[in-house]
């Protein structure tokens, strides 16, 4: 018997088979392989406030770039790679494309604020431009910057007496007209709390404009304040039994003695890092006038012998590195120098006299203030960055004391 197949049946069968295969078939476009990413800048050096745009030079097709900052308080970046330098320090900006990434390393030069006086009037310099704080005679002894606000402290002479003062953006708040606390000598800001240390014939500090008494003895003085984890540390000098002074520090107003801080010792500076308490001071009447204590224990400043007349001036500690600023002497001049972990680094060569005042470090950059001259309160105000000197004024009736990097 002869078989017969309907052509319409064959056509319908093939059509159904084709549609079934089409449902399971996935059609994909070829994926572009992205090579190593390259930016228009691999490194940048910027000043606070400057802007720049980063761009990926590698062909990435339609892939999406995402950006991130290692520290958005120093350098911010938006979705288009536009960056803004906000404060000093080293930061990395990373561009991400899928699993690939590349980095731009950025160094932001900080704004440099220096407190001092010129022509007997309190002032500060921001990036070498002077800002006068008062028409009254006085001095700005310490400075600190928080966000957009500039704080400085010191004293003004009003009606022939000193008055401790805190300036915020140039506006003065008089903390005390009491002779016991007539000079605001140091300033520290921890989180949003403002601490001002004052002395004269006793020791007190103000936290957010509220006074805290530390010591009421008229022979007691203080020079430095540091706040760590809300603990308040103060370096100063007591006068037990009316002797020539004993270097001490206070933690939350409780007094702590230091090893070999015998008669004639004075504490000048204090810093705290990783629960270690560093105090710098001096002594009179001994061959070695310099004193440095770590956690209350007397510790050598250097592995080599120091000039017996060297006078320590300031202290800065960061990432376990200890910087000690000192005033040294030659036969003909005053010498400015500092020690990093015991290694001496000179700032002046002896051709002129310089009196160093304060030291701060940001990443690998070392900043020091001082005066050209032989007296800390009067000369030509200067600062050094990594040993390179900058004059703030040609006026010999001026001084540069404390500094802050922002």
Which CATH number characterizes residue 61's domain? 2.60.40.1080
Which CATH number characterizes residue 397's domain? 2.120.10.30
Can you spell out the DSSP letters for 150-197? EEEEEEEEETTEEEEEEEETTEEEEEE--GGG-EEEEEEEETTEEEEE
Q: Do 126 and 78 fall within a single domain?
A: no
Tell me: the pLDDT tens digits for 123-151? 999 999 999 999 999 999 999 999 999 99
Q: Tell me which of 108, 124, 150 is where a domain ends.
A: 108
Q: Do 230 and 249 fall within a single domain?
A: yes
CB neighbours (10 Å) of residue 138?
23
As a whole number of angstroms, the distance between CA 134 and CA 122 comes to 6
In this structure, the chain runs to a length of: 406
Residue from 48, 130, 34 nearest 85 by CA: 48
Q: Do 347 and 392 fall within a single domain?
A: yes
Please identify every stretch of the chain with a pLDDT value under 70, giving residue numbers as ranges: 1-32, 177, 240-244, 284-288
Q: Do 140 and 261 fall within a single domain?
A: yes
Q: Residue 66's domain spans which residues?
A: 43-108
Give me the pLDDT at residue 179, please: 72
Tell me: the pLDDT tens digits for 39-83? 999 999 999 999 999 999 999 999 999 999 999 999 999 999 999
Tell me: the pLDDT tens digits for 196-222? 999 988 999 999 999 999 999 988 999
How confident is the prediction for the chain on average, in pLDDT?
89
58 inside domain: yes
Q: Do 95 and 155 fall within a single domain?
A: no
The alpha-helical segments, DSSP class H, found in 270-369 are none
193 inside domain: yes
Is-contact 186 197, C-beta < 8 A? yes
Q: Do 58 and 178 fall within a single domain?
A: no
Q: Tell me which of 83, 108, 133 is where a domain ends.
A: 108
Q: Do 276 and 188 fall within a single domain?
A: yes
Total of domains in the chain: 2
As a whole number of angstroms, the distance between CA 149 and CA 290 comes to 36
């Amino acid at each position: 018997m002869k078989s017969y197949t309907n052509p319409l049946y064959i056509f319908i069968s093939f059509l159904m088979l084709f549609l079934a295969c089409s449902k399971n078939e996935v059609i994909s476009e070829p994926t572009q392989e992205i090579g190593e990413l390259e930016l228009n800048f691999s490194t940048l050096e910027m000043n606070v406030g400057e802007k720049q745009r980063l761009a990926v030079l590698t062909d990435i097709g339609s892939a999406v770039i995402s950006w991130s900052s290692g520290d958005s308080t120093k350098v911010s970046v938006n979705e288009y790679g536009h960056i803004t330098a906000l404060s000093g320090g080293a930061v990395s900006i990373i561009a991400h494309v899928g699993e690939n990434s590349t980095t731009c390393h950025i160094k932001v030069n900080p704004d440099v604020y220096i407190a001092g006086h010129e022509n007997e009037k309190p002032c500060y310099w921001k990036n070498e431009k002077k800002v006068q704080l008062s028409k009254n005679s006085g001095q700005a002894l310490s400075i600190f910057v928080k966000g957009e606000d500039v704080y400085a402290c010191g004293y003004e002479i009003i009606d022939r007496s000193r008055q401790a003062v805190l300036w915020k953006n140039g506006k003065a708040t008089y903390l005390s007209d009491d002779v016991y606390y007539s000079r605001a000598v140091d300033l520290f800001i921890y989180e949003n709390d403002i601490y001002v240390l004052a002395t004269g014939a006793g020791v007190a500090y103000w936290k957010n404009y509220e006074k805290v008494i530390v010591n009421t003895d008229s022979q007691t003085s203080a020079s430095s304040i540091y706040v760590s984890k809300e603990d308040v540390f103060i370096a100063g000098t007591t006068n037990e039994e009316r002797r020539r002074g004993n270097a001490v520090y206070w933690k939350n107003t409780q007094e702590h003695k230091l090893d070999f801080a015998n008669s004639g010792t004075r504490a000048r500076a204090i810093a705290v890092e990783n629960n270690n308490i560093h105090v710098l001071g001096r002594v009179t009447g001994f061959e070695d006038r310099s004193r440095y204590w770590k956690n209350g224990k007397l510790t050598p400043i250097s592995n080599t012998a120091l000039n017996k007349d060297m006078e320590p001036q300031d202290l800065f500690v960061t990432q376990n590195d200890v910087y000690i600023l000192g005033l040294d002497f030659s036969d003909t001049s005053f010498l400015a120098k500092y020690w990093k972990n015991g290694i001496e680094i000179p700032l002046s060569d002896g051709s002129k006299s310089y009196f160093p005042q304060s030291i701060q470090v940001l990443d690998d950059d070392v900043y020091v203030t001082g005066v050209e001259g032989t007296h800390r309160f009067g000369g030509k105000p200067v600062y050094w960055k990594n040993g390179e000197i900058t004059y703030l004024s040609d006026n010999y009736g001026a001084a540069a004391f404390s500094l802050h990097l922002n």
